[in-house]
Amino acid sequence: MKNLKLYIPVAIFVALALTMWRGLYMDPRTLPSMLINRPVPEFELRTLELGDQLASRDHLPDEPFILNVWGSYCLPCLQENPIFMAAREAGEVPIVGINYKDTDDAAREWLDINGNPFALNVVDDSGRFGIDLGVYGAPETFVVDADGLIRYKHIGVIDYRIWDEEIMPVVRALQSDTGAEP
Amino acid sequence: MIPELGNFSLILAFCLSVLLAIVPLVGATRDNALWISLARPLTAGVFVFLSVSLMILTYSFVADDFSVQYVAANSNTMLPLQYKITAVWGGHEGSFLFWTWMLGAWMLAVAIFSKAMPDAFVARVLAIMGMIATGYTLFMLATSNPFDRVLPLPPADGSDLNAALQDVAFIMHPPSLYMGYVGFSVVFAFAMAALLTGRLDAAWARWCRPWANLAWAILTLGLSLGSWWAYYELGWGGWWAWDPVENPPLVTWLLGAAMIHSLAATEKRGVFKSWTVLLAIMAFASSLLGTFITRSGLLTSVHAFATDPTRGVYILGFLGFIVGGSLLLYAIRAPVLKSEFGFGSLSREVFLLANNLILVVASAAILLGTLYPMVYQAISGGDLISVGPPYFNTIFVPLMGLLVVLMGVGLISRWKKTSGRYLVQQLGKVAIAAIALGVVIPVLLTMDIPLGTIGVTILGLWVVFAIGKDIALKTANKPTRGAGLKSLPVSYWGMQFAHFGFVLTMAGACLTSIYSIERSVLLQEGQSADLGRYTFTFEGISPVQGPNYIADEASMRVERDGDLLRYLYPQKRLYTASRTPTTQMGIDGRFLRDLFITLGDPRQDGAWSMTLYVKPFVRWIWIGTLFIAFGGILAVTDKRYRRYKTRQRAGQAPQGRTIELGSAPEASV
């Protein structure tokens, strides 16, 4: 009995190894199941554009749109920006930014320098809204449908391939759904 | 043709490793002198063929052989020669080859510097290291061969080395980090051999100590260089980010520190034997875990490219075999290792035990924080969370504070039994002086009551004074102070250097986090910005052409209290082959403070964004680690680790004789 405690290290290690083995087969990019087809969580937050007026879900577009979590400190966001700018100029889809754990000054400066592709920038400086959204870190991107339900989530940077092959097909499908409905 | 020779050489190294893992071990069990004597030649063979492989890979880089996939992915014709050579360990496959070669080098060192030990024991040690080498070479051959070719159509030019890695510190960082990491396999092999034979005495501990010290000292340098590289190359103004990739080496470092202290008690007093063995296993396991984490993409994959799970599965299987096997062996065999002596409730043993507990708790907490997101995801089935610096700081800072308090007491306490009155007598004045000066100095310097700074100063002075007091006590009985100082053994000085360095690093880390200031500004040519006592003036931008990059270089005039201090030239670089932008900091480093400028981006109106930093005491962090590493290496040179060798040689003692010599009495430390 006394010697059983000597087996504690090996038992801990086996538990850890099994978890890691499972972890290997986890795709970190998959959408957390709890968020599929669920509405965007409620929020009351400042924006970079609306001054003192707080924004809520009512301020989000009533057509399919993209929700992008970004920050001025985030290098990959810089890489995504030209893709979003092109989408804005072509009028493909509205993009709402969530300025995540950032300062307003730094964010405004970043938008000045790099261009602002966002229809609206919700300020989540505390990261509280990010927790509700299940955000791991900037950048993350959600596709939201006309009813405000989250339909797709992408963790990490978006390049042209991901944009063309993963994001836009979802957006177009949602847009044609809406178009057929009235 | 030449890369194929490298591949062939790697296969030979693998075959010899397999033989090394089996033959001497069987020989030692069956007492077959011939099989035992094969351990050293086989080790030399493994090392030679690993060296040939490494040289051929280096040659492929220097000769721009882009038909080798690894070279094409990590080099470029325009890359300067020194970076072509360091690119050998700039990517996954090459760093594994380099790592395995380091293992071969440690094995060879053990084979050469082990004449004092019984041959059967050395055979077991080398066989266990041979098992590790088998695992690594097989891993390379099976899943990540650096000699894989891109045929029949090789690219005309390579895609260049990761721009952030084209740097002087990076030339040194991985070699020292790997060398320290891999060095723990030596102590691990010693511990396994002790478990197999059931023989763990003072002689064993004495053989282990130099290897443990050396590995740990080199790991200290590796960590320090990594932090230094992150500080001045990545340009975010920090020096440690609690990143999942940098945490595992720190865990190994903490466990290694615990092991060094526990080994001291095992050697001097014959206590903590099975604990020392467990620490040796854990330190090596954490180094393997570090490999697993960084190389499998387990934790970093979130914002990286999709990774191939076969590699992860392989490393995990290897980890399971080595660590699981050794822990199982430990559980079965540890009851054999009995402590020879008891000790009082106030003694150096107790303080060493407390030190070990703190270090192990700290490393467990860091490991938990590093792995928690992954564990959470595996259990909850998909949700991701992150654990940030606040968690690590909350746990790590108080633990280190406690460690520093105990460090002073532990230094003064004696082996076996120390009276409480003796401690109070010796440390009372030390404590009073540390508290008095620790309060007065910061208050006078800042004309304020900065509580954090006062705490740091008190703790720092406490250890410094305790070191002084201990030296005074140790030399008190000698006729003159000079003779007394000379009589102290080299390893004692090593210990004091390392302790002083640790306190310096901690003080630097705390003070820099208290006093650092930063400011982001947009400056037009001719405009200036104030930060603290310093004024930074932007005097224009000029283009710079590097060998494989183009850059914009800002000219920044720095004034202190209105007097010109110097000019700094931060750059914004674009590496042409990979189209990667990087920033090159402008740094003015002094003993008491660093000035630090990162250049951002231009705006249409000609203004540039930049971030200015004043970071007092930041340099102490790295200076302290140099003291630690120097102390560790100094301790290795102590001649008492070599005494037994010469004695044996002179007397032509039969093999195994050294064991009896192990119980010879020793001076303190």
Which pLDDT tens digit goes with each residue over B621-633?
Answer: 999 999 999 999 9
Residue B612 counted as domain residue: yes
Flag whether residue A28 sits within 8 Å of chain B, measured between CB atoms: yes
pLDDT at A34: 58
Q: Which candidate from B278, B302, B330 shows the least CB-CB separation from A136?
A: B302
Q: Which of B575, B604, B619 is the C-terminal boundary of a domain?
A: B619
Q: Which residues of A touch B301 (CB under 8 A)?
A: 28
Instruction: Find the CB nearest A137 among B316, B386, B601.
Output: B386
Q: Does A106 touch chain B (CB under 8 A)?
A: yes
Q: What is the mean pLDDT of residues A62-83?
A: 86
- Hey, are the CB atoms on B316 and A32 less than 8 Å from each other? no
Chain A's closest residue to B326, CA to CA, is A10
Domain-embedded: residue B562: yes
Are the beta carbons of B100 and B133 closer than 8 angstroms?
Answer: yes
Residue of A1, A5, A13, A112 to mutate, interface with B, max B Cβ within 10 Å: A13
Return residues 499-538 of B near A (CB < 8 Å): 520, 522
Tell whether A33 lies on the interface with B, counting CB pairs under 8 A: yes
**Shortest alpha-carbon distance between residue A136 and chain B (Å):** 6
Q: What is the pLDDT of residue A21?
A: 77
Measured between CA atoms, how close is B530 to chain A, in angstroms?
18
Write the DSSP symbol of residue A63.
S
pLDDT digit string, tens, across residues B548-588: 888 889 999 999 988 888 999 998 888 877 667 778 888 88
Question: What is the least distance, in Å, from the CA of B499 to any CA of chain A?
Answer: 30
How does pLDDT run across A124-136, given as a tens digit for each residue? 887 778 877 877 6
**Subunit contact A20:B331, Cβ cutoff 8 A:** no
Closest chain B C-alpha to A167 CA, distance in angstroms: 17
Instruction: Specify the 3-state DSSP secondary structure of B595.
Output: strand
A24 to B316: CB separation less than 8 angstroms, yes or no:
yes
Residues of chain A found within 8 Å of residue B609, distances taken between Cβ atoms? 109, 113
Nearest to B272 by CA among B281, B284, B261, B287: B261
Residue B234 lies in a domain: no
- Hey, are the CB atoms on A109 and B331 less than 8 Å from each other? no
| Cα nearest neighbour of A16 on chain B | B375
B105 or A154, which is more confident: B105
| pLDDT at residue B647, rounded to an integer | 45
Contact flag A9-B384 (C-beta cutoff 8 Å): no
| Contacting residues of B for A76, CB less than 8 Å apart | 303
**Looking at residue B114, what is its pLDDT?**
87
Whether A155 and B301 lie within 8 Å, measured CB to CB? no
Q: B520: which chain A residues are within 8 Å (Cβ-Cβ)?
A: 105-106, 109
Last-in-domain residue among B134, B161, B188:
B161
Within 8 A by CB and 6+ apart from B516, the residues are: B237, B613, B614, B615, B616, B618
Judged on CB neighbours under 10 Å (0-12, 13-18, 19+), B625 is buried
B105: number of Cβ within 10 Å: 16
Q: What is the mean pLDDT of residues A21-29?
A: 63
Restricting to A residues 49-78, those with a Cβ less than 8 Å away from any Cβ of B are 76
Q: How far is B540 from chain A (nearest CA, A)?
A: 19
Q: Look at chain B and report how many structural domains it folds into.
A: 2
**CB-based contact A157 B378, cutoff 8 Å:** no
Residue B70 is assigned to a structural domain of this protein: yes
- Which residue in chain A has the smallest CA separation from B320? A17
Whether B368 and chain A come into contact, CB under 8 Å, resolves to no
Residue boundaries of the structural domains of chain A: 29-180
Task: Write out chain B residues lying below 8 Å of A126, CB-based.
Answer: none
Degrees to nearest 5, angle at CA B66 with B62 and B71: 65
Q: Is residue B75 part of a domain?
A: yes
Which of A 133-172 lie inside 8 A of B, CB atoms?
Answer: 134, 136-137, 155-157
Contacts of B294 in chain A (CB under 8 A): none
DSSP label of B525:
T
Mutation site, B236, B319, B327, B523, interface A, largest A CB count within 10 A: B327
User: Does residue B503 contact residue B495 with C-beta atoms inside 8 Å?
Assistant: no
Alpha-carbon distance B374 to nearest alpha carbon in chain A (angstroms): 6
Most B-contacting residue of A3, A7, A10 (CB-CB within 10 A), to test interface: A10
Q: Which residues of B touch A13 (CB under 8 A)?
A: 285, 323-324, 327
Q: Look at residues B601, B619, B637 and tell me which one is the last residue of a structural domain.
A: B619
Q: Chain B residues with CB inside 8 Å of A155's CB?
A: 302-303, 384
pLDDT score of B363: 92
Q: In this complex, which of A20, A29, A30 lies closest to B298 when CB atoms are compared?
A: A20
In one-letter notation, the amino acid at residue B627 is F
Q: CB distance B301–A106 less than 8 Å? A: no
Q: Is A6 on the interface with B (CB under 8 A)?
A: yes
Touching check for A16 and chain B: CB below 8 Å?
Answer: yes
Residue of A nearest to B603 (CA): A113
> Does B313 lie at the interface with A, CB-CB under 8 angstroms?
yes
DSSP track, B146-166: TT-B--SS--SS-----GGG-
Low-confidence ranges of chain B (pLDDT < 70): 152-153, 164, 235-237, 294-309, 339-340, 377-386, 578-579, 642-669
Residues of B in contact with A3 (CB under 8 A): 331, 335
| Domain assignment of residue B587, given as a range | 517-619
Q: Which residues pair with B515 in a beta bridge?
A: none
Q: Would you state the pLDDT for residue B228?
A: 87
ipTM above 0.85, yes or no: no
Do A28 and B377 count as a contact with CB atoms less than 8 A apart?
A: yes
Where does A29-180 sit in CATH, by number?
3.40.30.10
Helix (H, G, I), strand (E, B) or coil at B667: coil
- The alpha carbon of B446 is separated from its chain's Cα centroid by a whole number of angstroms, namely 36
DSSP state of B634: H
* Residue from A162, A168, A137, A145 nearest A80 by CA: A162
- Closest partner residue to A156 (CB to CB) among B285, B302, B386 is B302
- Check CB contact of B320 with chain A, cutoff 8 Å: yes
Residues of B in contact with A23 (CB under 8 A): 298, 374-375, 377-378
Residue B526 lies in a domain: yes
Q: How many of the other CB atoms lie within 10 Å of CB of B529? A: 17
Distance in angstroms (rounded) separating the CA atoms of residues B74 and B93: 11
**Residue B316 touches partner A, C-beta closer than 8 Å:** yes
Whose CA is closest to B139, among B259, B20, B250, B13?
B13
Separation in Å, CA of B328 to nearest CA in chain A:
6
Q: What is the 3-state secondary structure (H, E, C) of B335-382?
A: HHCCCCCCCCCCCHHHHHHHHHHHHHHHHHHHHHHHHHHHHHHHHHCC
Residues B464, B462: Cα–Cα separation, whole Å: 6
- Tokens 């102290």 identify what position? B488
pTM of the model: 0.78
- How would DSSP label each residue in B275-335? HHHHHHHHHHHHHHHHHHHHHH-TTTGGGS----HHHHHHHHHHHIIIIIHHHHHHHHHGG
Calculate ∠ Cα B289-B28-B284, nearest 5°.
Answer: 15
Contact between A76 and B335 using a beta-carbon 8 Å cutoff: no
Partner-chain residue, chosen from A10, A20, A30, that has the shortest CB–CB distance to B331: A10
From the candidates A113, A114, A161, which should be mutated to test the interface with B, based on the most B CB atoms within 10 A?
A113
